[in-house]
Copies of this chain bind each other. A is one copy, B any other.
Amino acid sequence: MKALILSTNDFEDSELLVPRYRLLEAGYSVDVASGQKGIIRGMHGYEVLVDKIFTEVVPAEYAVLVLPGGKAPAAIRKDPKVFTIVHHFFGANKPVGAICHGPQTLVSAGLLRKRRATCYHTVAKELQDAGALYEDSEVVVDGKLVTSRQPDDLPAFLRELMKLLTLKGVCLPDEYWGDDAAISFKAQSRI
């Protein structure tokens, strides 16, 4: 199964890297998509290789979308290809996680009206103006939409996002020591 992250330069490093590693741990193949090929660099200097440019993304291939924060969302939020991608996830009712400034992309896509959501405190007014039902909580879950405020919220953000996914990571009884740990409870229960 595949996961998609949309970002560009000046992402908040932990908000991209931590979900990416968590999804890889759970067994997802994770693609980072951006406006152009090459390396994107976070605000703390971490470099991430771009797997796909936005026009190469086939949204139907992905089970989950993650929108990290930092300054990156401001740079990609009005890209019509980004608009198309995020609309696919909402239209198909697939899980979407957005943290910090990440929800700005959903504001620009017109997807937060009457949706419960949170974001970085400086973005709150923007969400409210877009008709979102803003809450100042570490994580807000509204259907398949999971939002959080900042890096310290990552544990709650990922806990709620992983609940919505088929592959959740290591979910094996302690007696089992097989090689394939990236197996969901659901898959495990079929063995």
Residues of A within 8 A of B (CB): 13-14, 17-18, 21-22, 24-25, 44-46, 154-156, 158-160, 162-163, 166, 168-174, 177, 181-182, 184-186, 188-189
For A154, the chain B residues whose CB sits under 8 A away are 21, 25
**Contact between chains at B173 and A163 (CB < 8 Å):** no
Min CB–CB distance A16 → chain B (angstroms): 11
Min CB–CB distance A73 → chain B (angstroms): 20
For A45, the chain B residues whose CB sits under 8 A away are 44-45
10 residue pairs A–B, Cβ–Cβ below 8 Å: A17-B18, A21-B154, A25-B155, A162-B170, A162-B181, A163-B181, A168-B169, A173-B186, A173-B189, A185-B185
Q: Which of B156, B166, B169, B189 contacts A169 (CB 8 A)?
A: B169
Known: A44-B46, A181-B160, A182-B159. A171 touches B171 (CB 8 A): yes
**Contact between chains at B155 and A173 (CB < 8 Å):** no
A46 to B184, CA, bound (A): 33
**Contact between chains at A172 and B163 (CB < 8 Å):** yes
A53 to B91, CA, bound (A): 51
A159 to B26, CA, bound (A): 8
A98 to B186, CA, bound (A): 31
**Contact between chains at A158 and B21 (CB < 8 Å):** yes
For A14, the chain B residues whose CB sits under 8 A away are 13-14, 17, 21, 46
**Contact between chains at B169 and A181 (CB < 8 Å):** no
